[in-house]
Each structure stands twice: as C-alpha cells, then as structure tokens.
Amino acid sequence: MENKKKIIIAIDGFSSCGKSTFAKAIAAKLGYIFIDTGAMYRAVTLYALEHGAIIDGEVNQEQLIGLLPQVNISFEFNPQRGASDIYVNGEFAEDRIRSIEVSNCVSKVSQIRQVREKLVAMQQQMGQSRGVVMDGRDIGTVVFPDAELKLFMTADAKVRAERRYAELTAKGDAVTFEEILENVISRDEADVNRAISPLRRADDAIELDNSYMSVEEQMAWFMERYEQIVG
C-alpha cells in the first residue's frame, strides 16, 4: 500500500454495527492509524461517572462541562490485541468504558455541545496527516466532511443486540438480551434525534448493511470501493 495516496476513511453508523472492529481491520490492512471516536465519548462518560457528574443515569451538564479541561484522552497501540487501547489521563480505561453503565449514559453525554466541540477538535488534529480510519456518529458529516471515502454502517437491531450480548457475556457481565436490545433501540433513537450533530448518512457516503455479512465479505466489499478511489 506504500505507493497509494493516503486518504481519510470516515465510518459512521448505528451502535453495535461492528464499526470499530471493521475500522481496526481496515487500518491494519492499509497500515493506517485507527481512531475510535466512540471510545472517546465513552471515556468522557466514564470520567463523569467516576467524578460525580452522572448519578443514577442523570447527567449534571454544568458539572460535566466543568470537568472537561481535566480530561486528557490518548491511544496506545497494544501489540497483544493488534489494536489501540484508550487511556484517560494516563490510566488504562479500555475495559471500563465498555460497561453497560457507560453504554446507558454515553448518548446523553455526546449530546452536550461542549463535549462534542472538545472531542471534534481532538479528532481533527489526530487526522491532519491523513492515513487514518475514524469511526463514530458524525465523522463524515461534521469531523471530516472532506473525507475521500465515507461509509455508513447499519444492521438489524436484533442482530446488533445479539452481537453486543455475546460480547458482554463473554466478559462475564451479568446482562440480559432484553436489556441490551432496549439499550440498542434507545441509543438509535437518541443518536438520530439529538439536536447537535444527529446521526445521519452523509450525502456521499456508501451504505453497508452487514446484518448477514461475514468479516471477510465486508472487507472484500470495502477493498473494491477503496481501490476505485485510490487507483
């Protein structure tokens, strides 16, 4: 891939579509940097939970906004996972940001304008040199509207809930499928209807419904479109 021009690949879509997994695989294949923007919003949510700005699922916006200057987010490549781990103020947070408590609050946190402004600025700085794969909810519409390749991922809500349920139970989390399905549906509604940067497909994004596609099929689908752009 050394002779190919470096581009920005923006991947947006609904929760639990496998955006991050797919983005990581693309980055590894192309030798690009992967930036998990969803993890960044989860990191802010985790920090707010641990510092009293979220209690019983209710977000104290003023308190959370006051905490933002204290939040430093970084990624470090983990050779054992073949992917980047997220750190909050230098502390490993990869496992803690995936909890159901964080999942239930992250949509509320991501609706706060000051949170989005802080993280969008960080994401744009990370992507300045191009050669990056970034996934999230508003990458192709807000963070990198000029990205050369934009994907919009979707999948059936029940299929997504099954994937998330399998992921969490494999880690030993005590959750029910019904709880996960409810979370997936409520997050979809919150993401689509939020006032600031709602989830929507960019006009020039290519849709990928991966409900019944294997990882290999998705990658073959992607490489066809990538080659059309970089030549």
Per-residue pLDDT at 2: 54
- Whether 124 maps to a domain, the answer reads yes
The H or E element that residue 8 is part of is strand 8-13
Beta strands in 58-201 (DSSP E): 58-59, 73-78, 83-88, 91-92, 132-136, 149-154
**What does the chain come to in residues?**
231
Per-residue pLDDT at 3: 62
| Domain span holding position 33 | 8-210
> Are 133 and 34 within 8 A, CB to CB?
yes
CATH of the domain at 165: 3.40.50.300
- Whether 2 maps to a domain, the answer reads no
- Whether 159 maps to a domain, the answer reads yes
Mean residue pLDDT across the chain: 91
**Token pair listed for 158:** 């029940």
Per-residue pLDDT at 46: 98
CA dihedral 63, 65, 69, 71 (to 10 degrees): 80
> Are 213 and 221 within 8 A, CB to CB?
yes
Sheet holding 73-78, edge to edge: 73-78, 83-88, 91-92
| pLDDT band at residue 11 under the 50/70/90 scheme | very high
- Whether 226 maps to a domain, the answer reads no
- Whether 222 maps to a domain, the answer reads no
- Whether 224 maps to a domain, the answer reads no
Q: What is the DSSP letter of 141?
A: I
- Whether 73 maps to a domain, the answer reads yes
pLDDT per position as a tens digit, 33-67: 888 888 999 999 999 999 999 999 999 999 999 99
Q: Is the pLDDT of residue 1 over 60?
A: no
- Whether 225 maps to a domain, the answer reads no
DSSP string for 36-99: EHHHHHHHHHHHHHHTTSEETTEE-HHHHHHHGGG--EEEEEETTTTEEEEEETTEE-TTGGGS
| Number of independent structural domains in the chain | 1
Q: pTM of the full predicted structure?
A: 0.74
